[in-house]
Structures are given as C-alpha cells and as structure tokens.
Amino acid sequence: MVRKLIIIGSGPAGYTAAVYAARAELKPLVLAGEKSGGQLMDTQMVENWPGTEKGVMGPELMMEMRRQAQRFGAEILDKNATKVDFSQRPFKVWVKEEEYTAEAVIIATGAERVMLGVPGEKELMGKGVATCAVCDAAFYKDKVTYVIGGGDTAVDDALVLTKYAKEIYLIHRRDELRASKIMVKRVKENPKIKILWNTELKEVIGEKKVERVRLIDKKTNKEQVMAADGVFLAIGHKPATEMFKGQLELDEKGHVKVKWGWENEFLTMTSVEGVLAAGDVVDFKYKQAVTAAGMGCMAALDAERWMEKRDE
C-alpha cells in the first residue's frame, strides 16, 4: 500500500505536522521512534509554550500533541525508521526489514544533544541536568548552577541563568572562550558568573537530583567536588540526519537544507521534490519548541499543496 504521507519523527514538528496532515485527510503514518516525543520528554516545565499560562510539563505537552494527532486520524507507530530511499517515487522508508512507501515524506527527526559521557549525566537528566537554559532557567532561582562549554550556546546559557541563579560557574576546558567577542565581554563583566578555565566535568553526583559535581583542572590534574543544583550541557546538538546522508542535501553541520526564500513556492521542500523537513533537523538558529511546531505546520501545508498541484 502506497500511503499519501509518512512523517519521520515525533517532537513538536512531527506531531504538529501530523495534526495538520490528518485534518487534511492525508492519513499520515508517523514513525515516532522507540523513544517518542523528542527532546521535550527530558524537559521539566515548559513556560514559553503559548497558551499555557502556568506552564506545562514537557512530557505532558508531547502526549497531548500525540493524542490530538491521533484524534484526527494519524497512525502513530513507536518504531525507529532505519533506512530511506528517496531516489524515486513512491519513496521508501524501512523499519528494520519492514518497508513502507509514500507519495511524500516529512522529516522531523530533530537533533540529538551532544553528551559528555560522564557518570551521573544520563541518570540525572531532567533532575538537575539539562540542555536548555531558556527552557529551564527559572527553576534555578537562587541556586548554584554550572554551564559546560565555551561557545555561543554556553555563554548565552550562562547569561540567561543570571536572571535567576545565585551563582553560575562556566566550565571550559580551554583557556579562551570560542564565543563571539561581545558575548564574552558580557560574561566576563557579569558578577554572578565565574569562569573556571582549563577545567572539565568528570562526574555529576546525586541520588534523586543533582547535588554535587566533580571537576578536574587539566593543567594540574587536581580534582575538586563542588556543591551544585543544576548542570547545563552546552557543548552543542547535532541534527539527527545520519540516515539521510547521500539522500538529501545537507549543510556542513548536517542540517537538512530546505528552500527558504520568497522565490520558492514550498519553503520546507528539501533537495528532493516531495520530501520536506521541519524542526531542529532544519533549524540551526532558534531551536525552540514553538518554532519547530510552526515549521511542522508549514511542512504539512506544503506537502498537501504540493500533492494537489502535482495531481492537477
């Protein structure tokens, strides 16, 4: 059976695309992944989602979006897409040995956080370990926090935290920040932020939440354990596009390229006509749930209109 639309991914972009596509009677199949819901499943309270005055828990928001898509007729499978063939239509998508075909595909596989791989990091994710200061900073009012990294993301996270946290330690493994000069200047001038140069995080310690961190000075090899309430990993994200290499045009960092610009009719179309993309798999700048959802809406509308135009 050739379906009208397959959506790969299930974060805000994937579920929003599913809602719009289902309402347009495209009967989308959503390959949500074995761990569905995207990065918001690891986020605590989301306070910047429009229409939620008191905020909403990340997992709760994702489950609500999932149920909404299902109510309009989207079929959702909690399976990982493992291979694609976009060389001809209908497009092929595999889940291990199981093959699905569709007239159009929306890619909403999002991005994967870059982890350090230190003890305690994975176990305490969402319990004091976080990857988005914009999302979670308000939970650390008058707390002691640590930001790991030295680029623009890390510096921006540290500055965001100054509105709430009592102390912010910026942990950088080198002796010079890689962020833009104006951002570095702001960090160095902020009395709440202390930069620990040539330092690496070795362990996150805590039972049910973050309690301490173990750090090591790379020059002296001296270790120290310090009290902590929060640890923000800001060493970057990588778009989840490994499966699409050789199938679609990607930028130098692995994001799927789409046809932004007024001269193009379908702004979310990729280098392969009929394959569209939305969310963090495309977005190299904003990386917010609401922008991902917006792009999911755009991709579904583009897919619908592209199929209508093709059939004219």
Residues with catalytic roles: 132, 135-136
| Residues 73 and 202: beta-carbon distance below 8 Å | no
Q: Is 48 left (phi over 0), alpha (psi -120 to 50) or beta?
A: alpha
**How far apart (Å, rounded) are the C-alpha atoms in residues 165 and 194?**
12
Write out the DSSP string of 184-238.
HHHHHH-TTEEEETTEEEEEEE-SSS--EEEEEETTT--EEEEE-SEEEE-S-EE
**How far apart (Å, rounded) are the C-alpha atoms in residues 15 and 307?**
20
Grouping H, G, I as helix, E, B as strand and the rest as coil, residue 61 is helix
**How far apart (Å, rounded) are the C-alpha atoms in residues 193 and 48?**
25
